[in-house]
Amino acid sequence: MNKLSVIAGKSSEDLARKLSKKIKANLVKSQIRVFADGESKITLKGNLSKKRSIVVQSIYPPVDTNLIRALSLISKAKETSSEVIAVIPYMGYARQDKEFLPGEIVTMKVLGKLFKGAGASKIIVVDIHSMIGLKHFKIKSKNVTTIPDLVKYFKKLSLKNPLIVSPDQGGKERAKEFAKEFALEYIALEKKRDRKTGKVQIKTKNVEVVNRDLILVDDMISTGGSIIKATQFLKKQKCKRVFVACTHALLMNDAEKRIKKAGVTKIVSTNTIPGKTSIVDISNTIAKAIM
Ligand code: R5P
């Protein structure tokens, strides 16, 4: 039996397959039957390593379904393997890392207990929304960056006097890192989000972007609100093209259509969430984090 098994959760099948090849692990697929009431019946197809199993399962929508599936896979793996590593490429709930308004539940704290209780000894996440979330996990944890993978893609494009832009101050460090890897300059806009309605506004007044190609860098796109507002603002400032580089493209409802309508030339995301825009493969980066 191979010393390593990769268990492919249904939400991350392709990434798990690519990862298993890179780290020369035995790939174990999971078969799912969904009962009429919505419960998942999961069956593993293959034998697990006694030493180490790696569960790969992103927690994108349906978030709670994919979460319980991740926990179930970890729990099952722990029955055979002495070490279970949870690779959660997109960590749902990562934005709920602190009590923003009184009475709010910090769901990342709950998840920290659940992952440990299920049997994970380490968790690997990718470009997590903020490192505060991982502090709630009392097991080993690692956050992997996809910036070099995304930059590699953008370096192949022919861009006019490109500038890196963060749509908000919270993403400033990410934009700075992206710009450093690309040897370019960066700016960060001022965004305000209404904590009750979720609506966003750009507060920045002017930026010098005339006739420049811009790359808007963000960790994730959900409703598309942040990217749309930033693009509308940048277009008014007479920039040339706007590209979007993000790790996790959730693109809920008609977000992609609305982003394009706002004037974005291309959305480029990674395969932490499979989809039309997920053209940057990060299996190599995850493999490096495991080995
Ligand atoms: C927020 O701080 C994040 O970095 C993203 O900008 C945000 O979560 C994206 O969400 P939406 O697409 O709904 O604006």
pLDDT in tens, the chain (291 residues): 678 999 999 999 999 999 999 999 999 999 999 999 999 999 999 999 999 999 999 999 999 999 999 999 999 999 999 999 999 999 999 999 999 999 999 999 999 999 999 999 999 999 999 899 999 999 999 999 999 999 999 999 999 999 999 999 999 999 999 999 999 999 999 999 888 888 889 999 989 999 999 999 999 999 999 999 999 999 999 999 999 999 999 999 999 999 999 999 999 999 999 999 999 999 999 999 998
State the Cα–Cα distance between residues 231 and 263, nearest whole angstrom.
7
The CA-based dihedral angle spanning residues 164, 168, 169, 171, taken in that order and rounded to the nearest 10 degrees: -60
Ligand 1: nearest atom to the Cα of 226: 14
Rounded distance from Cα 220 to ligand 1 centre (Å): 6
CA gap 172, 178 in Å, rounded:
10
191 is known as an active-site residue: yes
259 Cβ below 6 A of ligand 1: no
Q: How far is the CA of 25 from the centre of ligand 1 (A)?
A: 35
Atom 9, ligand 1: which residue's CA is nearest? 221
Cis amide prior to 62 (ω within 30 degrees): yes
Cα(95) to ligand 1 centroid in Å equals: 9
Pocket residue to mutate for ligand 1, from 226, 232, 248, most atoms within 8 A of Cβ: 226
pLDDT of 195: 80
Whole-structure pTM value = 0.94
Q: 226: CA distance to ligand 1 center in Å?
A: 6
Cα gap 193→154, rounded to integer Å: 29
258 DSSP assignment: H
- What pLDDT score does 46 carry? 94
pLDDT (0 to 100) of residue 194: 86
**Which amino acid residue places its CA nearest to atom 5 of ligand 1?**
220
Question: What pLDDT is stored for residue 198 in this prediction?
Answer: 82
> Which atom of ligand 1 lies at the shortest distance from residue 198's CA?
13
Q: Does 223 contact ligand 1 (Cβ within 6 A)?
A: yes
CA atoms within 13 A on the CB side of 79: 7
Catalytic pick among 10, 76, 78, 191? 191
Cα–Cα distance between 175 and 263 in angstroms, integer?
Answer: 21
Q: How far is the CA of 222 from the centre of ligand 1 (A)?
A: 6
Q: What is the DSSP string of 83-123?
A: EEEEEESS-TTTT--S-SSTT---HHHHHHHHHHHHT-SEE
Q: What share of the chain is helix, strand, coil (3-state, %, to 5)?
A: 35, 25, 40
Give the integer Cα–Cα distance in Å for 45 and 54.
Answer: 15
The rounded distance, in Å, linking the Cα atoms of 4 and 50 is 8
User: In this predicted structure, what is the pLDDT of residue 1?
Assistant: 62
Measured over the CA atoms of residue 272, residue 277, residue 279 and residue 280, the dihedral's sign is negative
